[in-house]
Amino acid sequence: MHAERGPLLRPILLVLVASSLALVALAANGAGAQQRTADAPPYLDQARPIAERVDDLLGRMSLDDKLGQMTLVDRSALGNQADVTTYRLGAVFNGGSSAPSPNHASSWADTIDSLQRSAEDTPLRIPLLYGVNAVHGHNGLWGATIFPHNIGLGASGDPELVAAISRATAEEMAGTGANWNFAPCLCVARDDRWGRTYESFGETPELVASMASAISGYQDGTPAVLATAKHYLGDGGTTGGVDQGDAALSEAELRAVHLPPFAAAVQRDVGSVMLSFSSWNGARLHAHRYLITDVLKDELAFRGFVVSDWAAVDRIDGASGLTAAEVRSAINAGLDMVMVPYDFRTFLGLLRTEVRAGRIPLQRIDDANRRILTQKFELGLFEQRQTDRRWTPTVGDAAHRDLARRAVRESIVLLRNDGGVLPLPRHAGKLFVAGRAADDIGIQSGGWTMSWQGGIGDITPGTTVLEAVRATVSPDTTVTYQRDGYGIDSSYRAAIAVVGETPYAEGRGDRRGTMSLDPADRAVLERLRAAGVPVVVVLISGRPLDIAAEVAQWDGLLAAWLPGTEGQGVADVLFGDHNPTGRLPLTWMADAAQQPINHGDGQEPLWPYGFGLNYPTDTVPAQTAPAQTVPAQNIPADTIPIGMAPGGADGGQPSSGNTFAASSSIAR
C-alpha cells in the first residue's frame, strides 16, 4: 500500500498542528472549516485509506468536476481567479516566464494561496496542484538558490548530491506554495546540437537513470512536492538533435537508451510523467497509445498521472487550433492531464463533447481522475491547503547556497592542465580576469533562470566568478578585470578567461552549423595569449563546444557547465580548495561534424565520456583530496580508464582509481 508522501512522522505532526490551530482555522476559514465536522464526507477524513477517499470523492463528482481535474492552465490565462471555481480547474502552473508579480516569495505564496481559496470555493473543495519548472532550484523566483543545470550534476556522478538539491528545491518551493515540480528532466541527450542538452544528466541511460534520485529528493521528505519525469519518450534522441523533432529509432534502441531512466523513475514512484513534444518514427508521443498505456502504465506499472507538454495536444495534427480529434486521440492514448495552457474553455468544451458522444469512454475519465486525485491525497493537499510559510525563509538561505557551491565544485571537469598551471596560487601577485561570462550571474546561470530563455546580467542575487576570485586571493594579490581582455601585459601571473555560451532554452538553443566559441570570445582569448602569460579558460556552456583547434593554446581548461548563482564553487577549484572530481557526462567531440557522437560509437573524440583530470595531490591540501563520488550502482563492468587525453599534451594527474558510469556500448 502506498501511504502519504513524506516521512511517517508527517501526519502526526499535522494532526498536532491542526488541532492546535483548529480554532484559528475556524475563525479564518468560516464556512470552509465548518465542513470538517463529524459528518464530513469520508474523503475529507484523513484517517481513512487513500484508495477509499478517492472512491468516495469520485462518487460525488459531476462530469464537469472530473473534466476540470484534467485541466492544467497557465496562471496568466486566468482572466479572473474565479475561473478556478467556475471551471473546477484541477491544476494551475506558471510557465517559464509567468511568475507572480512582484517576484518575491511572499507574493508567490499570496497568489497561490488565493488560487487555493478559489478551489476551496467549489462544492467538493478539491485542492489545486500548482506547478513550476524548478529545474535547477526554484529558478523562476527572484532570490532563490540557483543550482548547476543537470549536465553539471551529471558530471558530479553523485546521485545523493542530486537528491539533496531536490530536497532543498522542495523546501524553497514549499515556501512559495508551489507543490508540483516539472522536474527532473530524465532525457538522455544523444546529440549535443540539441538546445536542451544541458537539461540532461548525460548521454548514457545508466548515468541518467542513477539521477532519478532527484525524485526521492522532491517527494520523500517534508515538505514533499510532486515530481515529474520528463519528457517521455526519446526527446534526446531526435534526428539531428532537433528540439521537438523525430526520434527515428528501432524499438530496441528506444528501449535500451531512452526508457531506463523512466523505469528508474517509476521504481521511485514518481507522481507524474510529462510527455515529449517529439515523435517516434513519425508518430507524436502525445497520441502514442502503445508507449503511454501499454509500455508506461501497463508494462512499467506507472501508477501516477501523465501530463502533456505546453500546448502539445494542439500540435498533434501539425496545424494550430485545438480539435476534437486531437483531444480524443491524446486522452484515449492515456493522457490524464492536459497543459492547455491558455484557452481552457475551448479545451473543456471539446473534451465534454467527446465524452458525451461516447468517443472517450467515461472509464478513461475516471481512471485519469483516480490517478490525479490519488496524488493529491498522498501529497497531503487536502490537509495542507495553504502555503506552509515556515519554509519561506529557506529561499536562497545560506545552507542552500552552501549546497549549491558544493555542487558547483563537484560538477567541474578539469580537461587540461598544461605544466600544472592549476591550481592557481592565492598569493599570485597579479591576476587578470576577462570574458563576458566572468561577471555575469545571468550567463553563468543559463536558460530557465528568472525567465524561460534566461537573461544576461544581474537577474538575481549570487556570486559571479569574478567576485569569487576576488574573495579568494590573498589581500596582496591584485585582480584586474577587463571584460574584453584589453590592457593585459606580461606582468600578470596568469589570465583567467570566462567564456562560452549565452543563455537559451529549448529550440532556440539548437545549433545547426558550427559549435565553436563565439568570435568575440575567441578575440578575447587571442588578446590574453598575446601577452604571453598562462591562460586558464573557464568554459561556461550547456554542452561541449568545438574547441579542438584552439585548446592546445590554452594552459588550463575547466568545464564549468552552467553553474548557477554560486560562483564561489568555481574559485574553489581554480585555487585548489577542491581537487576536481567531475567526469564528462558526454563524449567531447573533436569536430562538430562528428555529431552525434556518443560513448561506444567508435568515433575518436577529443575527450571520451567519463574523462576528467585531477590535480597532483601534492598541490592541494590533503583534506581536500577528491572524495570518491561515484556510487557503486553507477559503475558497470565496462568502465573507461580516465586520464588518457588524446593529443597527449595535458599535464594533469591522471585520476587513476576513479571510474565513471560508462554505458555498455550503445552506438548510434
Active site residues: 309, 506
> From the CB of 97, what's the least distance to ligand BGC, in Å?
4
* HSE-up of residue 277 (Cα within 13 Å, Cβ side): 16
497 in Cβ contact with 599 (< 8 Å): no
> From the CB of 668, what's the least distance to ligand BGC, in Å?
23
Residues in the chain, total: 668
341 in Cβ contact with 72 (< 8 Å): yes
> From the CB of 332, what's the least distance to ligand BGC, in Å?
23
Q: Which is nearer to ligand BGC, 132 or 441 (CB)?
A: 132
Distance of CA 562 to the CA centre of its chain: 12
Residue nearest to ligand BGC (CB): 95
**Rounded to an integer, what distance in angstroms lies between the CA atom of residue 6 and that of residue 379?**
8
Helix ranges (DSSP H) in 380-518: 398-411, 441-445, 465-472
All 3 cell numbers of residue 297? 502504465
> From the CB of 165, what's the least distance to ligand BGC, in Å?
18
The SS3 call for residue 182 is: coil
* HSE-up of residue 211 (Cα within 13 Å, Cβ side): 33
Phi, psi of 45 (to 5 degrees): -95, 110
Q: Which is nearer to ligand BGC, 76 or 386 (CB)?
A: 76
At 253, which helix (H) or strand (E)?
helix 251-253
For 149-163, the three-class secondary structure string (H helix, E strand, C coil) is CHHHHHHHCCHHHHH
**Rounded to an integer, what distance in angstroms lies between the CA atom of residue 500 and that of residue 147?**
18
> From the CB of 199, what's the least distance to ligand BGC, in Å?
8
Q: Which is nearer to ligand BGC, 305 or 310 (CB)?
A: 310
Burial class (CB in 10 A: 0-12, 13-18, 19+), 571: buried
> From the CB of 73, what's the least distance to ligand BGC, in Å?
12
**Rounded to an integer, what distance in angstroms lies between the CA atom of residue 444 and that of residue 539?**
10
> From the CB of 495, what's the least distance to ligand BGC, in Å?
38
**Rounded to an integer, what distance in angstroms lies between the CA atom of residue 662 and that of residue 239?**
23
> From the CB of 96, what's the least distance to ligand BGC, in Å?
3
Q: Which is nearer to ligand BGC, 450 or 488 (CB)?
A: 450
Interface residue list for ligand BGC (CB under 6 A):
95-97, 133, 182, 230, 309-310, 452, 506
Strand partners, 497: 434, 537
Burial class (CB in 10 A: 0-12, 13-18, 19+), 632: exposed
Q: Which is nearer to ligand BGC, 95 or 159 (CB)?
A: 95
Phi, psi of 18 (to 5 degrees): -60, -45
- Which residue, chain included where needed, has cell 562560452? 500
Q: Which is nearer to ligand BGC, 230 or 370 (CB)?
A: 230
Q: Which is nearer to ligand BGC, 95 or 304 (CB)?
A: 95
Query: For helices 159-174 and 398-411, what crossing angle results, to 10°?
Result: 150
Strand partners, 558: 414, 538
276 in Cβ contact with 233 (< 8 Å): yes
Q: Which is nearer to ligand BGC, 177 or 435 (CB)?
A: 177
b/e per residue 319-343 (b: at least 16 CB within 10 A)? eeebeeebbbbbbbbbbbbbbbbbe
**Rounded to an integer, what distance in angstroms lies between the CA atom of residue 374 and that of residue 226?**
12
Q: Which residues contact 492 (CB under 8 A, 6 or more apart)?
A: 429, 430, 431, 432, 480, 531, 533
Q: Which is nearer to ligand BGC, 273 or 586 (CB)?
A: 273
395 in Cβ contact with 144 (< 8 Å): yes
Q: Which is nearer to ligand BGC, 277 or 609 (CB)?
A: 277
Q: Which is nearer to ligand BGC, 176 or 653 (CB)?
A: 176
Q: Which of 240, 333, 338 is nearest to 283 (CA)?
A: 333
**Rounded to an integer, what distance in angstroms lies between the CA atom of residue 399 and that of residue 378?**
28
> From the CB of 95, what's the least distance to ligand BGC, in Å?
3
The SS3 call for residue 130 is: strand
> From the CB of 547, what's the least distance to ligand BGC, in Å?
29
> From the CB of 231, what's the least distance to ligand BGC, in Å?
6
248 in Cβ contact with 281 (< 8 Å): yes
> From the CB of 131, what's the least distance to ligand BGC, in Å?
8
